[in-house]
Structure 1
Amino acid sequence: MSGSNVIAEFLSGITGGSLKVVDLTNRLSSTTPTLRLPDPFANLIDFSLEEVSAYNEPGPYWKHHNIHTGEHIGTHIDAPVHWASGREGLDVSEILPERLIGPACVIDKTAEVEADADFLLEVDDILAWEAEHGELPANSWLLLRTGWEKFSDDQDAFLNADENGPHTPGISAACAQWLAEERPISGFGVETVGIDAGSAGGMDPAFPAHYYLLGADKYGLTSLQNLGDLPATGAMIVVSPLPIVGGTGSPTRVFAITGA
């Protein structure tokens, strides 16, 4: 089948209803839950809109705003230069578009996280998933479903911090290193505020998902939604960050295409 026919069939599937577009993005506003680093570390600014005109004297026929936001706010992508291990790597504008479209591979650990908010994904978990669904393919995105999206409108519940620090699920240091070195994925996506677990500051190395994956030219996606609407395999993910020159990341619209 020619390329034009493949595209025509794909578009027909969307308009005809045999394919479904699933939005994996959390809505972005001033109340979107965001990371809070402890002192003495500096935090990014939260998202906000600044009105410039609203069908009035500054602009009688139009309404528009300035936006103010940090790069890593809401659903966003982490580029390699976000982390010290990737400092010689790509900024967000340099990520190849073909790395931003690929197979979506969903591993569901909602039951485990319901029992333990500090759950860590291990290599054996992925190997067990692969035994059922096949090895993670090239250019795929591994998406960790934990049920954490249910807290996506509540800052305190989303960060789930106490005197011992945040308690959110993620990936172990050994598993992060294995994914970076042993599987040809494009990236790793989560429903939580960052690609590392809440306990990752105390791991060796600290924040291993950032350290290993970004250092290996693999990317992170955070604050994802609606992973429960995707099959374990068979869906396609589309990641659409702003191509910010020099950017370490960007708020990102993320879609999946799956069978209806």
Structure 2
Amino acid sequence: MSQLGNLLESLSTGKIELIDLTTSLSAQTPVLRLPEPFVNLIDFSLEQVSAYNAPGPLWKHHNIHTGEHIGTHLDAPIHWFTGKDGRDVAQIPPERLLGPAVVLDVSSESAQNPNFLLEIAHVTAWEEAHGPIPQNAWLLLRTGWDRFAQDQEQFLNADQNGPHTPGFSAECAQWLAEHTPISGVGVETVGIDAGSAGGMEPPFPAHHYLLGHDKYGVTSLQNLDKLPPTGAVIVVAPLPIVGGTGSPSRVFALVAHND
């Protein structure tokens, strides 16, 4: 049997499990809220065009209204000024959208401290335990934040001092961008930066460094608790929007079971 045939058989028998990492997309999906004077993207909505009636007697269909960076979505380099001369969504090579999943579990730390920041030492400790980060891997930050995925207030966790959500320190973001072979990072929060990132130097360092080095980000992931620290494969599937700075995406993981 061919390698692809073996894959299909393993999927059908459950030897390989397909896990959906995507947050469902609706008008209730929590989204980023920027303070004035900045302008926010529109929320997701459906506009009914026909529903088995005069405008379309045999069919039902909608127009989709949404910002690029809504729900589970991919950030392309041109989303940030440091990557403005880089790739748009349609230009990202497909081979960069499929790769090994590296899962760092900091859910306990994030439960105790919503402002938790991943440091270089956390990543090197993971490597000591599991081996070097593979080429074209996606580093997935498991914080447990997906439990708030359908609650706008808890998901953003903002007060008068701004949002409080976990993420990457500036030093870690720079190191990941410049010294690791990753294709990108994935998070369970609304954006790839921590809630406190606006006050860092540089501001929003995950965007600054990663997108500036042709590495990508995926947000609002689910079910990272179902993935092992290493061994899974992730598939990120954005719409190939010409000129797009980002795109809502379906994200899957393939996990092998030996029993």
Q: TM-score range by the shorter chain?
A: over 0.9
Other structure's SS at 1:174 match: helix
What code does the residue aligned with 2:252 have? F
Following TM superposition, by how much is the alpha carbon of 1:159 offset from its aligned partner in structure 2, in angstroms? Answer: 0.2
What's 1:196 paired with? 193
- Name the CA distance, whole Å, in 1 between partners of 2:82 and 2:4: 38
What's 1:224 paired with? 221
- Name the CA distance, whole Å, in 1 between partners of 2:248 and 2:111: 28
What's 1:110 paired with? 107
| 1:148 counterpart (145, 149, 153) | 145
| 1:39 pairs with 2:75 | no
1:157-207, Cα deviation, whole Å (9 max, x unpaired): 000000000000000000000000110100000000000000000000000
- Name the CA distance, whole Å, in 2 between partners of 1:63 and 1:107: 43
- Name the CA distance, whole Å, in 1 between partners of 2:73 and 2:79: 12
What code does the residue aligned with 2:230 have? T
Other structure's SS at 2:41 match: coil
Other structure's SS at 1:113 match: helix
- Name the CA distance, whole Å, in 2 between partners of 1:8 and 1:207: 44
| 1:80 pairs with 2:91 | no
- Name the CA distance, whole Å, in 2 between partners of 1:176 and 1:136: 15
What code does the residue aligned with 1:196 have? D
Other structure's SS at 1:250 match: strand
Following TM superposition, by how much is the alpha carbon of 1:17 offset from its aligned partner in structure 2, in angstroms? Answer: 1.2
1:109-143, Cα deviation, whole Å (9 max, x unpaired): 00000100000000000000000001111100000
Once the two structures are aligned, what percentage of the paired residues are identical? 66
- Name the CA distance, whole Å, in 2 between partners of 1:5 and 1:189: 32
Other structure's SS at 1:50 match: strand
Following TM superposition, by how much is the alpha carbon of 1:30 offset from its aligned partner in structure 2, in angstroms? Answer: 0.2
What code does the residue aligned with 1:208 have? P
| 1:125 pairs with 2:153 | no
What code does the residue aligned with 1:247 have? G
| 1:59 counterpart (52, 56, 65) | 56
| 1:177 pairs with 2:178 | no
| 1:243 pairs with 2:245 | no
| 2:65 counterpart (63, 68, 87) | 68
| 1:20 pairs with 2:13 | no
1:50-75, Cα deviation, whole Å (9 max, x unpaired): 00000000000000000000000000
What code does the residue aligned with 2:51 have? A
- Name the CA distance, whole Å, in 2 between partners of 1:124 and 1:41: 35
Q: TM-score, normalised by structure 1?
A: 0.98
Gaps of 5+ in 2: none
| 1:167 pairs with 2:169 | no
Structure-to-structure mapping, 1:80-99, within 5 angstroms: 80-99=77-96
Query: Aligned pairs, how many?
Result: 257
1:187-243, Cα deviation, whole Å (9 max, x unpaired): 000000000000000000000000000000000000000000000000000000000
Other structure's SS at 2:74 match: strand
Following TM superposition, by how much is the alpha carbon of 1:22 offset from its aligned partner in structure 2, in angstroms? Answer: 0.2
- Name the CA distance, whole Å, in 2 between partners of 1:197 and 1:17: 36
What code does the residue aligned with 1:44 have? L
- Name the CA distance, whole Å, in 2 between partners of 1:207 and 1:17: 41
Following TM superposition, by how much is the alpha carbon of 1:6 offset from its aligned partner in structure 2, in angstroms? Answer: 1.1
- Name the CA distance, whole Å, in 2 between partners of 1:70 and 1:16: 39
Gaps of 5+ in 1: none
The alignment's C-alpha RMSD in Å is 0.6
Q: TM-score, normalised by structure 2?
A: 0.99
